A = this chain, B = another copy of it.
Amino acid sequence: MYAPNRVRKFTENIFKAIGCSTKDAKLAADVLINADLNGVDSHGVARLAGYVRLFDHGRLNPKPNINIVYETPSTATIDGDKGLGLVVAPFAMKLAIKKAKNAGSGWISVQNSNHFGIAGYHASQALEHDMIGWAMTNAAPLVVPTFSKEKLLGTNPIAVAVPADKQPAFLADFATTAVAYGKMEILQRKGLNAPMGWVQDENGNPTDNANAVKEGGGLLPLGGDREHGSHKGYGLGAVVDIFSGVLSGANFGPWVPPFATAGFQGVAAEQVGKGTGHFLGAMRVDGFRPKEDFKQSMDKWIERFRSAKHIDGNPVQIPGDQERNFRAERLVSGLPLIDPVVDSLKELGERFKVRF
């Protein structure tokens, strides 16, 4: 087990070592550590070496000049200047919140960014302002639309954060696929097969091969197959791609560049926009209803769902419960980093003369 603050400090120092300002390094580290604390191990410091590789490949600007390229009272597009998504997305979310204060809601599309970490971190920034937060991003193509043999969409996550009163906040944060790609990587490491309904092979046939995505197959959209609504998961992933990529002027569809860790994918020769795209939003709850009324109704919603008659041993969870449970445990016990992640951090430490 590793103390969160030790890992946090190390992560900050690595970001500083590649040229980030102290402020940006702290922010980027905060996003990653929060993924680890919340149990989303695939999106935490396991990716630190990947961000450094992006820098090595000239795809990451450690001192970006993030600026607004287009705006109205409640909307804007910002150019991330090839900065860390971990820094660009919080900039966009701050702008969304500022616009929401003045106009009731704020919606920001982002071009020219990189992987932004966990969507839920960004959406949750709205909560302390008594706003509903929204965050989505496109990502490199790993997912096959219904009936496609080609991978044309990323796992394109959506996060929505909703404040409550006495109850903890509602936080839905999920990839628009049957499973996140990180689950395939875990199976690969363990040499296990995948359940049917997660992936298809290069001919478009169902398969349990955990390596299928690397061998010409693809992740299936949420729903799995047409009979069980995969066209809905595809439609949802498409909406995320359009809002994040087409609306912002970033790349979209199969042209979205890979995060540095996906060794089997290259950057598409043709680029149809700039970098990776995101879409973030904030809405004041009192743009619709007195906020006390809203929050009390949310408490009632949460209490009712949490107390539902449930299947033996499996209480009904409120979106966000799982993250909170991990967090409560890991703040005490520390982060259970696996050996390959620890090794990657040690390598970074040696390279940049930063003690882990």
Count identical subunits in the complex.
2
Q: How far is the CB of A332 from chain B (nearest CB, A)?
A: 26
| B residues less than 8 Å from A172 (CB atoms) | 235-236, 238-239
Interface centre among A77, A227, A301, A309 (most CB of B within 10 A): A301
Give the contact-size bracket for chain A. Answer: 35 or more
| B residues less than 8 Å from A231 (CB atoms) | 174, 317, 319
With the chains together, A129 CA to B77 CA distance in Å? 20
Does A147 interact with chain B (Cβ within 8 Å)? yes
Chain A facing B: main interface SS: mixed
28 contacts between A and B (CB under 8 A): A72-B284, A73-B74, A73-B103, A74-B105, A75-B287, A75-B288, A76-B288, A77-B288, A103-B104, A107-B287, A109-B288, A109-B289, A145-B305, A145-B308, A146-B317, A147-B310, A147-B311, A148-B309, A170-B238, A172-B236, A174-B232, A179-B229, A195-B228, A222-B229, A223-B224, A242-B301, A246-B301, A253-B304
Known A195-B227, A228-B228; further 18 A-B contacts with Cβ < 8 A: A70-B287, A72-B103, A72-B284, A74-B103, A75-B104, A109-B289, A147-B316, A160-B239, A172-B236, A172-B239, A174-B232, A178-B223, A223-B224, A234-B319, A246-B298, A249-B297, A252-B301, A253-B304
| Nearest 7 Cβ contacts at the A-B interface | A72-B104, A75-B287, A172-B235, A75-B104, A74-B74, A204-B311, A147-B314
